[in-house]
Chain A
Amino acid sequence: MTTATLHPTAGARPLADLLTMLRRNLLRAVRYPALTSFTVVIPVLLLLLFVFVFGGAIGAGVTPGAAPGAEGRAAYLDYITPAILLFAVVGAAQSVAITAAMDAHSGIMARFRTMAISPGSVLGGPVLGTVVQGLVAVAVVLTVAVALGFRPGAGVPGWLALVGLVALVTFATTWLCVAMGLAAPSVETASNTPMLLTALPFLSSGLVPVATMPAPVRAFAEHQPFTPVVETTRALLAGTTPDGATALLAVGWCVAVAAVGYAWSRTLYRRERR
């Protein structure tokens, strides 16, 4: 018997409810392909832009010995593919901010709140759905990179670790974006705050080595979560063993961001809306 709590937790079967909400989210993703495909189109465009416009020049700068032109492009493709995968992850997470805001403003979230379902199930369904979408988006983007000449060197354990890392990064970013979507005053503004997350891969070691950045930017880049994630992804894709401390830092950031995002989302879910 629950007593004296303003935030009762338990739906009777939270796991079953979570799967129901996951099913709803995936069904919505299929019904709203514009939002879903957005998560793939943007990173693919970025990949093409960076490789074919900037790559010839920058590639020579990031890979010692690479000649400008075709050789530079190939080198840059190798260098940036891990970061481009993260753009797919961030894109998928952003879409959840929009769907969370749609739910909050359409009245269906009020319906869920008047039912005996735990907030974790209502909000976690879209998060798991987005992890699935994020993995699919990453696979598509990676396929495009391979078509352009990218050659991953990962073995089976490397691929498994990579899938795990991508899922974890998506999971963490998505919880944060759910909260941002719930905090948004309208559906139209729901993707504004998450848009800031798009800037983070730019300000990491993803597109250029941090050593080439001016000191303040470099300090930020070295200490923000995407840099250890990019470095670990890069090592896994190349088939080398990632640096242990860096990998641990990447996972630690993800767990921390997920925890903050989850707690924030839960608070916003129970918040009174007038």
Chain B
Amino acid sequence: MTSEPAVDVRGLRKSYGDLTVLDGVDLTVAAGTVTALLGPNGAGKTTIVGILSTLLSPDGGSARVAGHDVVTQGDAVRRAIGVTGQVSAVDDLLTGVENLRLMTALHHLGRRAGRERVDALLTQFGLTEAARKPVSTWSGGMRRKLDLAMTLVGSPAVVFLDEPTTGLDPRSRRTLWDEVRALVAAGTTVLLTTQYLEEADHLADRVAVLDRGRIVAEGTAAELKSAHDAGSLDDVFLRLTEPTPDAPSAPTTREVA
């Protein structure tokens, strides 16, 4: 592959009225790696994912995904990415199979290839048993897995996961971690946001700490720990992201939705 990074963000800015959500973010994710974007609520994580996935337009700076500019080459970006946001993006009225078939049809996989892809994903995520029941009857963890499976139908080169394991029990969380590792092993680039330091520590090749719209630290988990003379990422996090009770928290998709 090329040496061009899968995600290349320079000086990204975004505000809503007077509220600055992103205040000049620089971020690079090398192809085929996992980067965790770590930060407290309202730090701007979801806004970054929103801009990278073409849902939001930046006010300033630039962002390229898989070599394409998110503003001027939106369609090319959309062809390269898969996104799992915080709000469940499954069709509750349909069954698991029907949800996945919807995705295979939109990716123009064809009847036979589509069916094989659906079966493979159901097996991979352990959803085969419930596959023909309406998703509205499924548990939160199963819906999350389906959500991710739907994102992966088109074998995207770059995957954005916005707090993928929030609200999941420990077992489901481990399953998702395994899936992310498998993805990366297969050459996919992953940018995930998380509030869980353990998740960043376990999963990510590199960690970027975001606080109040700025990247305040970036490196491997080990680098961050030694640079900040901290025993754990917890300590790094607490040292870098100071509580500001008087500052309003920036809006995120989840808080408003």
Contacts and interface: CB of A to CB of B under 8 A. Distances in A.
Interface residues of B, number: 40
Interface stretch (B81-89, B163-171, B187-195, B196-204): B81-89
Interface stretch (B54-62, B216-224, B237-245): B54-62
A105 interface: yes
Interface in A81-115: 105-108, 110-115
Contact of B72 (A4, A110, A112): A4
Interface in A149-201: none
A10 interface: yes
Contacts of A3: 72-73
B94 A107 contact: no
A116 B106 CA distance: 9
B75 interface: yes
Contacts of A110: 55, 83, 85, 87, 89
B93 A31 contact: yes
Contacts of A13: 108
Interface in B50-72: 53-57, 71-72
Interface stretch (A20-28, A216-224, A231-239): A20-28
B79 A116 contact: yes
A2 B78 contact: no
Interface in B94-146: 94, 98, 102, 105-106, 108, 134
B57 A24 contact: no
A20 B102 contact: yes
A28 B94 contact: yes
B92 interface: yes
Main secondary structure, interface of A, reads loop
B22 interface: no
B87 A2 contact: no
Contacts of B44: none
A114 B54 contact: yes
B92 A106 contact: yes
Nearest to A28: B93
Contacts of B92: 106
A17 interface: yes
Interface string A4-21: 111010111100110010
Given A3-B73, A107-B89, A110-B87, A27 B98 contact: yes
Nearest to B54: A114
B72 A107 contact: no
Contact of B54 (A16, A105, A108, A113): A113
B76 A113 contact: no
Contact of A272 (B55, B82, B88, B151): B55
B73 A111 contact: no
Given A17-B106, A32-B93, A114 B81 contact: yes
A3 B76 CA distance: 10
Interface stretch (B5-13, B24-32, B178-186, B249-257): B249-257
Nearest to A23: B105
Nearest to B86: A107
Given A111-B89, A274-B252, 11 more contacts: A2-B76, A3-B73, A8-B75, A10-B75, A20-B106, A31-B93, A108-B91, A110-B89, A111-B83, A113-B55, A117-B106
Interface of B: 16, 53-57, 71-76, 78-79, 81-83, 85, 87-94, 98, 102, 105-106, 108, 134, 150-151, 154, 251-253, 256-257
7 contacts: A8-B73, A20-B105, A20-B106, A27-B93, A32-B93, A106-B91, A116-B79
